[in-house]
Amino acid sequence: MKRMPDEAGIPEELVRLAGQVRVQVRRGGAPRTSAKCVVYWMQRAMRIVDNPALDVAIEAGNLLGLPVVVFFSVIPNYLNANLRHYHFMAQGLRDVAEDAAERGVGFVVRRHPDNSLEMFLEEVEAALVIGDENPCREPERWRKVLAGRLRVPFWTVDADVVVPSAIFGRSYFLLHHFRPHLKAQLPTYLVAQRKTRPLHPWNAWKSFASFGLAGDITAGFTKLDRSVGPVDSFTGGTHAALKRLDAFVNHELAAYEETRNRPEVKGTSRLSPYLHFGHISPLTIALAVEKAVARGKAPASAKDKFLDELIGWRELAVLFVRHNPNYDNWECAEPWARKTLVEHAGDPRPHRYTLEQMERGETGDELWNAAQREMVDTGWMHNYMRMYWAKKILEWSPDPARAFEWAVTLNDRYELDGRDPNGYAGIAWAIVGKHDRPWFDRPVFGVVRPMSGAAIAKKINAREYIRQNGGGSGRLEF
């Protein structure tokens, strides 16, 4: 078991709780004496249901005889976030407020400039603070800075993967290298978690300032990018996520193997925005899929294929981001991909488009334009089209480094599930060979796997997909 620094005077049960593999002790020591609560600093896992970080906070509160209050800090300048992202997040926070009240934990939202976590911990006289983890660069930096400044113990919990990332301690080159290690752990972690009941429900003993979520959570944020507006294709929050999950497992999972790569059919779960914002747990999804198969709603082969995406590829992406500091730029290229792309850097491009032309969907490829419009208009792009979309950016950009940069810019700007390990891993797969193998040599791509519109049009109804996303239905030319 991991040791918690400065264990003297700490209840043995609390030491054991901190030693769980999901938990990282960032600042040790004994809880504040004469404390009034335990604080869960919610950031990445924006949910009350199936949230291991909240469960740890409740267990700690029960051991210390204290209630739990959830604290959410709204900042005006979250990296690369715009109005579309804030709107979806705000919808989710309303569900958090409702579910927190039902579970018996407090929920306080503060906005800039009155949103200091440190000040809040002093205001409520917190015994300790529990946070959730985020492998991306900037949120991890925040956690490290806070660990050095806080005056109470600070733990973080790996709440958004089925199998805790610390178990693996490294990234993997290919999915089939990772899969055996993952499967060995699934019997332990792919099980329903006990819902820990708070023994000491939160009852505010004085009036706490908390932002009313009926209002505009972005009011007064003068530097927020409002040029990318909300979409009506997705409603944020745990409740909407659970409805989408129910529709998927009961009506779409059975055909998943046949339809998952058919973007005109939309045969996927479409849960990635909810996973990114932590509105739903991957464990909730996986268990619902297993239950549907047990009830005869879908074949076991559909479950296996879906869980390979939900758990296999997604948790491989988390490990990639956690262990590669260059996850969002060209420098993460596999050595063989870097070599071949550099060798072909001077190859003539069939077309050259600027970032602005791509952003507006003004290329000569109507299939690609339709994918770009799907992302801009709905905040989501079908995964099969994401691969093609990124491959063509590589083909049309001045160089691979620029291609990676532009793909990240567009993905993070318009996708509700942008700014996420899954997105960065997908772009790295498409452009610089991450989690892939060498293919056959060809211009521009070298031995990086290519994709062509002509090949895709043989597998899908490309004309229908283009029509659905604002294009004409005329003759396709590749």
Give me the pLDDT at residue 96, please.
98
Reduced to 3 states (helix: H, G, I; strand: E, B; else coil), residue 111 is strand
Name the pTM for this structure.
0.96
438 — pLDDT class (breaks 50, 70, 90): very high
- Burial profile 129-152: b = 16 or more Cβ within 10 angstroms, e = fewer: bbbbbbbbeebeeebeebbeebeb
In this predicted structure, the answer to whether residue 204 has a pLDDT above a threshold of 70 is: no
**Calpha distance 323→342 (Å, rounded):** 24
Backbone φ and ψ for 52, nearest 5 degrees, come out as: -60, -30
Q: Is the dihedral of CA 465, 400, 431, 359 positive or negative?
A: negative
**Calpha distance 466→461 (Å, rounded):** 9
Domains of the chain, first to last: 12-159 (3.40.50.620), 238-323 (1.25.40.80), 330-468 (1.10.579.10)
Per-residue pLDDT, averaged over 100-117, amounts to 95
Q: Dihedral, CA atoms, 171, 174, 177, 182, nearest 10 degrees? A: 60
Q: What residue type is assigned to position 9 of the chain?
A: G
Per-residue pLDDT, averaged over 172-192, amounts to 97
Give strand pairing partners of 132. 157
Give me the pLDDT at residue 9, please.
65
Give me the pLDDT at residue 207, please.
65
Give me the pLDDT at residue 415, please.
98
Give me the pLDDT at residue 11, please.
85
Reduced to 3 states (helix: H, G, I; strand: E, B; else coil), residue 143 is helix
**Calpha distance 333→320 (Å, rounded):** 12
* CA atoms lying within 13 Å on the CB side of residue 390: 27
Per-residue pLDDT, averaged over 217-231, amounts to 97
Token code pair at residue 220: 């007064």
| 395 within 8 A of 352, measured Cβ to Cβ | no
Give me the pLDDT at residue 50, please.
97
Per-residue pLDDT, averaged over 349-353, amounts to 95
Residue in 104, 19, 102, 5 with CA at minimum distance from that of residue 58: 104
Per-residue pLDDT, averaged over 254-275, amounts to 96
| 163 within 8 A of 182, measured Cβ to Cβ | yes
| 27 within 8 A of 147, measured Cβ to Cβ | yes
Per-residue pLDDT, averaged over 428-448, amounts to 97
Per-residue pLDDT, averaged over 213-225, amounts to 95
In this predicted structure, the answer to whether residue 356 has a pLDDT above a threshold of 50 is: yes
Give strand pairing partners of 39. 69, 129
Give strand pairing partners of 10. none
